[in-house]
Structure 1
Amino acid sequence: MQPKKKAILISLCVSIVLMLAKFVAYFITNSNAILTDAAESIVNVIASAFAFYSIYLSTLPKDENHPYGHGKVEFFSAFVEGVLIGIAGIIIIFKSSYDFFYPKEIKQLFDGAIIIAITGIINLAIGFYLIKTGKRHRSLTLEADGKHLLTDAISSAGLVIGIIIIYTTQIFWLDSAISIALGCYIVFNGYKLTRKSVGGLMDESNIELVKDIVVILQENRQESWIDVHNLRAQQYGPDLHIDCHVTLPYYFDLNEVHQQISNIDQLINVSGSHETELFIHADPCLPACCNYCKMPNCKVRQEDFKREIGWNMENVTKNQKHFSQ
């Protein structure tokens, strides 16, 4: 079984067991705060099930209808998970607000705290495992599911502390107050996950990836690479796509242009951390480029070289040659 499928299947199975354990803790204690944790576990199970299907789709090879692969479904999966997390948080806040004014009897808090603590430790371990696997295999779905489980573990830790305080002080209205606070935390994390997934669905450029590419190009730039601009990067599941414009001497023939572009392609794939598909558009140089062009023995130079323009996020991502800045 592929590592990504194995990881999400483990997450799904563990989420089901932990959800049942948390509901047992709720029925034992009748605590709203514990119900908050149990309700979020339902989201964990649904999200893991959907994530498993999205990972299955993302591993399918490119075909005629999906020339960029199926990896973008992972952004949709993360979006669904974020929305479910947010809905769960809102429901928790409303229910806990009602019970704050109309409290119910709470019992056996110590037993409930033990169960929640155990589930929190398990979620912490599974969460780190999913994030590590997701980064290794460039899976947004696994990373999202892992971060969700870490959020769940943090919620459980806060919940256990709250239960201990309630148990020792016998101030039972704290149960609903803690539940409302955890609900707000859950909604916030759902928003962050949804925001990231929407960015991916809208083809938002991968800023961290672009930064890495700019550094690689700047550190390995050749004299014939006069400038690079309009650099963009997107991630579709495990697949990375980069497109940019490279200004080359206008007198290069087609073979030389092809060789220069191939050199850039190989540089990115050897020096970068991910296998990347590049689409590079070659621009001819203009007389205004001469003052920062380092091409030696150029027979058509119209102006002496003055200074090199360093490539950075500010100029490489703009859709214009550097002389026009």
Structure 2
Amino acid sequence: MPSNGKLQRIAAWSIAVSLAIFLLKLAAWWFTGSVALFSDAMESVVNVVASSVAWYALRLAHKPADDDHPFGHHKAEYFSAVLEGVLIVLAALLILREAWMAFFDPRQLEMPLLGLVITGVAALGNGLWARMLMSTGRRARSPAMVADGRHLWTDVVTSVGVVGGLVLALITGWLWLDPLMAAIVALNILWHGWHMVGHSLQGLMDVAVEAGDLAEIERVVEENRDGALEFHDLKTREAGRARFIEFHLVVPSEMTVEAAHRICDRIEHALEKTLPGAQVTIHVEPEHKAKFA
């Protein structure tokens, strides 16, 4: 799993990459006058802001627990992801507005070939960086970094759609294809932004771990509870990179506190080894509290 320092360095570089991509797209619009390229550049403004927010959220999320935040600052990443989703939606609405205005007043494109080349270079760079962010974010269980990567990937989709619209407009002479393609791409961006907000809100609402991880937790507890009678009331939740696990462990009534403590330690170590970052809470109960005996 990538270290916190590495994640923060990548997030800082993401700001620089987003800024460079924005300047390239701004140049493409300046040379062509295309409303679709203008919309594409405006979407990249959001990328710069979102990357900055993600960088700050990663720094905040990885701060150690303190008196005011005894469970840590993990959820800061979800706030970042929600904000990125909202910004994507706003960018899509801006693109739709520009496309609507340009549809009724199509403009002749200037230096279209140069604009296409610049946009293609920007899209390629964006795509490579987005894939790296999503891959690293998934390995590190970082919602902010994954959201930033997905955000950049929607930008790649935007650029591809814009290029396709411009090529068709140039081939056919139908200049209204330029704003039409911008509108279609904006709707796609709108869908991705809405999906991102929904996923992040689930994290803020203490969503349980995924079914595969839950099954793994049950297996690890079962294999390492020798000496205990059963476990029940298993509850889990996720907060950024952290996973919280708690359950009740039933032991024989005559078992000493020290012996029960050794069982708990064994289970906790096994869970932390299987699911790095897991924080485990075990409530020990006497055998008359068993539910499945």
The 2-side partners of 1:227 and 1:69 are apart by: 27
**Gap change, CA 1:169 and 1:276, over 3 Å in 2:** same
The 2-side partners of 1:219 and 1:180 are apart by: 55
Q: 1:213 is matched with which residue?
A: 217
Work out whether 1:229 is the aligned partner of 2:219: no
Q: CA deviation at 1:105?
A: 2.6
**Gap change, CA 1:66 and 1:171, over 3 Å in 2:** same
Partner AA of 2:285 in structure 1: D
Q: 1:83 is matched with which residue?
A: 86
Partner AA of 1:151 in structure 2: T
The 2-side partners of 1:14 and 1:249 are apart by: 60
Work out whether 1:179 is the aligned partner of 2:182: yes
Q: CA deviation at 1:279?
A: 0.9
Work out whether 1:197 is the aligned partner of 2:197: no
Matches within 5 A, 1:70-149: 70-149=73-152
Matches within 5 A, 1:12-51: 12-51=15-54
Query: Which entry has the higher C-alpha Rg, 1 or 2?
Result: 1
Q: CA deviation at 1:123?
A: 0.7
Richer in helix (by share): 2
Work out whether 1:280 is the aligned partner of 2:282: yes
Does the aligned pair in 2 maintain the 1:110–1:163 contact within 8 Å? Answer: no
Q: CA deviation at 1:220?
A: 5.5
Matches within 5 A, 1:280-319: 280-286=282-288
SS at match of 1:200: helix
| TM-score normalised by length of structure 2 | 0.90
Matches within 5 A, 1:154-169: 154-169=157-172
Does the aligned pair in 2 maintain the 1:110–1:164 contact within 8 Å? Answer: no
SS at match of 1:149: helix
Structure 2: segments with no counterpart, 5+ residues = none
The 2-side partners of 1:250 and 1:150 are apart by: 57
Does the aligned pair in 2 maintain the 1:7–1:133 contact within 8 Å? Answer: no
SS at match of 1:2: helix
Does the aligned pair in 2 maintain the 1:234–1:242 contact within 8 Å? Answer: no
Q: CA deviation at 1:282?
A: 2.5
The 2-side partners of 1:243 and 1:180 are apart by: 48
**Gap change, CA 1:184 and 1:219, over 3 Å in 2:** farther
The 1-side partners of 2:121 and 2:229 are apart by: 58
Work out whether 1:267 is the aligned partner of 2:266: no
The 1-side partners of 2:229 and 2:109 are apart by: 71
Partner AA of 1:224 in structure 2: A
RMSD of aligned C-alpha atoms? Answer: 2.2
Does the aligned pair in 1 maintain the 2:39–2:98 contact within 8 Å? Answer: no
Does the aligned pair in 1 maintain the 2:250–2:287 contact within 8 Å? Answer: yes
Greater displacement, 242-251 / 58-67: 242-251
| TM-score normalised by length of structure 1 | 0.82
* Residues 84-127 of structure 1, C-alpha deviations (whole Å, 9 max, x = no match): 01111112112212322232332322221111111111011111
SS at match of 2:248: strand
Structure 1: segments with no counterpart, 5+ residues = 290-320
**Gap change, CA 1:108 and 1:212, over 3 Å in 2:** farther
Partner AA of 1:282 in structure 2: V
